Amino acid sequence: MTKIAPSILSADFTRLGQEIRTIETADYLHFDVMDGVFVPNISIGIPVLESVRKITEMTLDVHLMIERPHRFAERFADAGADLVVFHLEADEAADVRKAIDAVHGRGKRVGLAIKPATSAEKLLPYLGRIDLALVMTVEPGFGGQRFMEGMLPKVERLRKAIDAEGLQCEIEVDGGVNPETARLCRTAGADVLVAGSDVFRAADRAARIAQLRGELS
Ligand code: DX5
Ligand code: ZN
């Protein structure tokens, strides 16, 4: 069953607690952290994560769009993330490995993300030591952008590699997901679909989440 991860970047932050209640039938809560350096936007960070942790049992999927994430990965794990995902492009290889081990050392899951310009091959050496591979299907930084179909072969490539080696790593897709693009992602082999604007714009969010999973037509 495909998992859905609504991104609270598209929520109304003045009533975040109530907004979270409306998406609790989803599988993960996607929490986008931006530093204004790795991406041209600034969003939310550790204090908000700590507050969210207190009010929900949902799996918190924290997507770090920050430079040199090894500086902060452990702190996000301690602040309540269940899954800490950071960008392969944002750190030196040695620091990427250090951050993976640090998050695992906290008993949390860890993921690596790639931007549209980064090939799936770059992730292959890490698949055996991470829990999730995130393929960006928009340029990171903003919600509400158009899905890049040209990223789907990366999902297929990762699916093949993960299955061939019998690994547990999940494949997540982030950006521009709606019922039509969700179907393409599921077919390509994605396990987790992030959806921000599409879910938060919907009048019936639970129904939309079910639709993105492929449960409704
Ligand atoms: C973009 C973020 C996404 C974003 C997705 O940089 O990583 O998680 O919230 O938003 P939509 O689903 O609107 O493209
Ligand atoms: Zn994201």
- What is the DSSP code (8-state) at residue 5? E
DSSP string, 63-101: EEE-SSGGGTHHHHHHTT-SEEEEEGGGS-HHHHHHHHH
Average pLDDT over residues 186-193: 98
Domains of the chain by start residue, with CATH: 3-213 (3.20.20.70)
Summarised one tens digit per residue, pLDDT across range 138-149 is 999 999 999 999
157 vs 169: CA distance, rounded Å: 13
Residue 117's SS3 state is coil
pLDDT for 191 beyond 70: yes
What is the number of the ligand closest to the CA of 40?
1
Summarised one tens digit per residue, pLDDT across range 63-83 is 999 999 999 999 999 999 999
Residue 174 annotated among the catalytic residues of the structure: yes
Average pLDDT over residues 144-163: 98
pLDDT for 211 beyond 90: yes
pLDDT score of 130: 98
pLDDT score of 217: 59
Catalytic residue among 27, 32, 35, 91: 32
Residue 82 annotated among the catalytic residues of the structure: no
- pTM for this structure? 0.98
Ligand 1 pocket, 27 CB below 6 A? no
Average pLDDT over residues 87-113: 98
Catalytic residue among 27, 91, 174, 198: 174
The amino acid present at 135, given as its one-letter code, is V
Terminal CA-to-CA distance of the chain, rounded, Å?
A: 15
Average pLDDT over residues 32-37: 98
> Which residues have a beta carbon within 5 Å of ligand 2, which is an ion?
32, 63, 174
